Amino acid sequence: MITLSKPISAGQARAYHKQEFANARENYYTEGDRVRGEWQGKLAERYGLRGEVGEQQFARLSEGQHPETSEQLVRHQTAREYVNDSGETVRSMEHRAGWDATFSAPKSVSLTALVGGDDRVREAHRESVRTALDEMEKYAQARMGGNVPAQTTGAWAVAKFEHDSSRPVDGYAAPQLHTHAVVFNVTETADGQTRALQPQELYKTQQYATAVYRSELAAQLQRLGYEIERGEHGQPEIKGYTREYLEASSPRRQQIEEHMEKAGVRGAGAAQIAAHQTRDAKQPLSHEEVREQHQRLAAQHGHQPQHVVREAAPDQAGGRVPDTRRIAFFRDELTELARAIVDGANVRAFHAWSLLDNFEWADGYTQRYGLTYVDYRNQKRTVKDSGLWYGKVAATNRLDHDS
pLDDT at position 314 is: 45
Q: Strand 380-383 relative to strand 187-188: parallel, antiparallel, unpaired? A: unpaired
Please state the rounded mean pLDDT for residues 221-225: 87
pLDDT at position 351 is: 82
Q: How far apart are CA 163 and CA 148, in angstroms?
A: 40
pLDDT at position 321 is: 73
Domain ranges of the chain: 2-249+281-311, 316-396
Band of the pLDDT at 377, cuts 50, 70, 90? low
Using the Cα atoms of residue 86, residue 13, residue 133 and residue 64 in order, give the sign of their dihedral. positive
Question: Residues 115-152: pLDDT tens digits?
Answer: 999 999 999 999 999 999 999 999 999 999 888 999 99
Q: What's the mean pLDDT when you consider all of the chain?
A: 83
Q: How far apart are CA 70 and CA 67, in angstroms?
A: 6
Question: Residues 268-317: pLDDT tens digits?
Answer: 554 454 444 445 555 567 788 888 999 999 999 999 999 898 777 544 44
Q: How far apart are CA 103 and CA 181, in angstroms?
A: 8
- Helix 268-277 and helix 251-263, axial crossing angle in degrees, nearest 10: 110
Band of the pLDDT at 343, cuts 50, 70, 90? very high
CB atoms within 10 A of CB 344: 7
Question: Does residue 352 have a pLDDT over 60?
Answer: yes
- In DSSP notation, 374-394 reads EETTTTEEEE-HHHHHHHHHH
How far CA 278 is from CA of 106, 251, 354, in Å, comes to 21, 12, 47
CB atoms within 10 A of CB 129: 27
103, 220, 158, 185 alpha-carbon torsion, rounded to 10°: -60
Question: Residues 17-33: pLDDT tens digits?
Answer: 877 777 767 777 876 66
Give the residue from 11, 29, 103, 17 showing the smallest Cα distance to 53: 17
pLDDT at position 75 is: 82
Q: How far apart are CA 281 and CA 323, in angstroms?
A: 45
Give the residue from 329, 322, 321, 323 showing the smallest Cα distance to 350: 329
**8 A C-beta contact, residue 376 and residue 361:** no
pLDDT at position 383 is: 86
Q: How far apart are CA 345 and CA 174, in angstroms?
A: 57
Q: How far apart are CA 393 and CA 387, in angstroms?
A: 10
Highest mean pLDDT among 195-209, 266-280, 340-354: 195-209
Question: Does residue 255 have a pLDDT over 60?
Answer: no
Q: Determine the distance from the C-alpha atom of residue 250 to the mean position of all C-alpha atoms in its chain, rounded to a whole number.
A: 17
Question: Does residue 245 have a pLDDT over 90?
Answer: yes
